[in-house]
Amino acid sequence: AQSVTQLGSHVSVSEGALVLLRCNYSSSVPPYLFWYVQYPNQGLQLLLKYTTGATLVKGINGFEAEFKKSETSFHLTKPSAHMSDAAEYFCAVSLSGGYNKLIFGAGTRLAVHP
Amino acid sequence: EAGVVQSPRYKIIEKKQPVAFWCNPISGHNTLYWYRQNLGQGPELLIRYENEEAVDDSQLPKDRFSAERLKGVDSTLKIQPAELGDSAVYLCASSLDLFSVGVYEQYFGPGTRLTVT
Q: Model confidence over A52-65: pLDDT tens digits?
A: 889 999 999 999 99
What is the helix, strand, coil percentage profile of chain B, to 5?
5, 45, 50
* Residue A24 in this model has a pLDDT that exceeds 70: yes
Note which residues in 35-54 of chain A have CB less than 8 A from chain B. 36, 41-46, 49, 51
The dihedral region occupied by B85, where left means phi > 0, alpha psi between -120 and 50, and beta the remainder, is: alpha
Q: Are A14 and A30 in contact (CB under 8 A)?
A: no
A106 at interface of B, judged by CB pairs closer than 8 A: yes
CA distance B103 to chain A (A): 5
The mean pLDDT value for A13-25 works out to: 97
Across B62-94, b (16+ Cβ under 10 Å) vs e yields eeebbbebeebbebebebeebeeebbbbbbbbb
Q: What percent of chain B has pLDDT over 70?
A: 97
The predicted pLDDT at position A4 comes to 94
The predicted pLDDT at position A96 comes to 64
The predicted pLDDT at position A31 comes to 87
The predicted pLDDT at position A97 comes to 62
Mean pLDDT of chain B: 93
B chain contacts of residue A43, beta-carbon cutoff 8 Å: 3-4, 91, 93, 107-111
DSSP summary character for residue A83: G
The length of chain B is 117
Beta strand segments in A9-102, E: 10-14, 19-26, 31-38, 44-50, 56-58, 64-68, 73-78, 87-95
* Residue B1 in this model has a pLDDT that exceeds 80: no
* Residue B99 in this model has a pLDDT that exceeds 80: no
Q: Are B3 and B91 in contact (CB under 8 A)?
A: no
Q: Which of A32, A98, A105 sits opposite B42 (nearest CB)?
A: A105
Q: Which of A100, A101, A104 sits opposite B42 (nearest CB)?
A: A104
The predicted pLDDT at position B53 comes to 92
pLDDT tens-digit series, residues B54-81: 988 989 999 999 999 988 899 999 999 9
Cβ distance B110 to A41 less than 8 Å, yes or no, reads yes
* Residue A70 in this model has a pLDDT that exceeds 70: yes
Mutate to test the interface with B, among A21, A46, A99 (most CBs of B within 10 A): A99
